[in-house]
Copies of this chain bind each other. A is one copy, B any other.
Amino acid sequence: MKITAQEEYGLRCIMHLARVPFGETVNVRQIAECEGLSTAYVEKLLYLLNRAGLTESVRGAQGGYRLAYPAEQISLRQVLEALGGVLTADNLCNQFSGDREICVHHGGCELHSVWSFVADYLAVVFNRITLKHLADGEARPLVPSFFSRSEQTIPLAGHQPVQTAQTNSEER
């Protein structure tokens, strides 16, 4: 389980935009310099973000890129999605099917439920974290508070008297 370079660097680029006043543009060269990346690479990353509609570009002299929406309206999930796709459990059994057409565990895959669990959790978390949270550093102090309560809420350890009649989709 890993974070790809494209996700990490792309996120840094859009964070760079999130840190300037909304509406102001920043050009590729500035971002590349500040983030320690090549201009060619930054261009490519911004191309991906732009294509996803998260940023806008202004061409010509004095041009550059800026966020398409205020930072508090862009979620981490949208950014990661634009940069290479989010982990979704449904695709895993298709993606990793060995040399068969479909997953050998089709219909009774033990792993699917675990990846669902993980992927759904991440989707919720990433949906709620916005670029503004990140820019303001608000994520940091929240980590410990999560852990102090998590001991009672992480499911697998304890019981399972649960009804499954819930839908857990969370869209913006």
Q: Are B156 and A128 in contact (CB under 8 A)?
A: yes
User: How many copies of this kind of chain does the complex include?
Assistant: 2
In which size bucket is the chain A interface? Answer: 35 or more
Known contacts: A2-B2, A143-B116, A150-B124. The answer to whether A134 contacts B155 by CB under 8 A is: no
Indicate if A169 sits at the interface (CB-CB under 8 A): yes
Which residues of chain B are near A108, meaning CB under 8 Å?
137
- Determine if B110 and A128 form an interchain contact, defined as CB atoms under 8 angstroms apart: no
Q: Which residues of A are interface residues toward B (Cβ below 8 A)? A: 1-5, 7-9, 11-12, 15, 21-23, 34-38, 70, 72, 76, 80, 84-87, 92, 96-100, 104-105, 108, 110-111, 113-118, 120-122, 124-125, 128-129, 132-135, 137-150, 153-157, 159-160, 162-166, 168-170, 172
